[in-house]
Amino acid sequence: MMGLLSILRKLRQSPEKELRLLLLGLDNAGKTTILKIMASEDVTHVTPTAGFNIKSVVSDGFKLNVWDIGGQRKIRPYWKNYFENTDVLIYVVDSSDKKRLEETGIELFELLGDNKLEDVPLLVYANKQDLPSSLTSAEISEALGLHSIKDRVWQIQACTAINGEGIKEGMEWACKSIKKK
C-alpha cells in the first residue's frame, strides 16, 4: 500500500505527465469508437454519446485524460464547458459524410476561434477510411481549409476507428506536439 501512495504522490508532483485531450466532432463521426480503441476496449456495441465519456489511457509516457463529448446538434452548445485546460483538441470527421462536410467545418472553426482553445494543438482524424465513398485525408484537409490554420500546430490523420488503423499514429503526433509546447 505504501508503494502505491508514493507512486500516486509522484504522479501528482509531475502534472506535465498528465494531459487533457478533448475529443469532438459531429454525431456519428466515430469519437467514442476512437476512445474505446485507445482504451483497448471492445467496439462491437457503440451507442451514441448523450453526454460525455472520460477515459484515462497511457501513451508515450503520458497519462491522457480523454474527454469524448457527444456531437448531436443539441449538445454542441455545451462543448465550450469542457475547453478549460485542454492540452490537445482532437476533432473527428466522418470522411464518408460529404453532406455534412460544410457543417463539420463550421463547427471546427468555431472551436478554433474560442480563446480557451488558443494555441491548443489540433489533431483531425479523417475517420471511416475503410468505406468506399470516403474522401482522403488530403481532400478533407482541402474541404475544411485546414491549411489556413496559422495560429497552432495541426495534423490530419487518416484512420479507421473500427479496426484502430491510424489511431496510434495520431496519438503519437499529439504527444510529440505537447512535448514541443
Burial 107-127 (b: 16+ CB within 10 A, else e): bbeebbeeeebeebbbbbbbb
31 is in an annotated binding site: yes
3 is in an annotated binding site: no
94 is in an annotated binding site: no
26 is in an annotated binding site: yes
13, 72, 155, 157: which one is catalytic? 72
33 is in an annotated binding site: no
User: DSSP class of residue 134?
Assistant: P
Q: Is 157 a catalytic residue?
A: no
129 is in an annotated binding site: yes
Measure the CA–CA gap between 7 and 51, rounded to whole angstroms: 32
Strand partners, 157: 125
- Rounded to the nearest angstrom, the gap between the alpha carbon of residue 23 and the centroid of all alpha carbons in its chain is 3
Task: Cite the annotated binding site by residue number.
Answer: 25-32, 49, 71, 127-130
Task: Cite the annotated binding site for Mg(2+) by residue number.
Answer: 32, 49
Residues classed as catalytic: 72
Task: Cite the annotated binding site for GTP by residue number.
Answer: 25-32, 71, 127-130
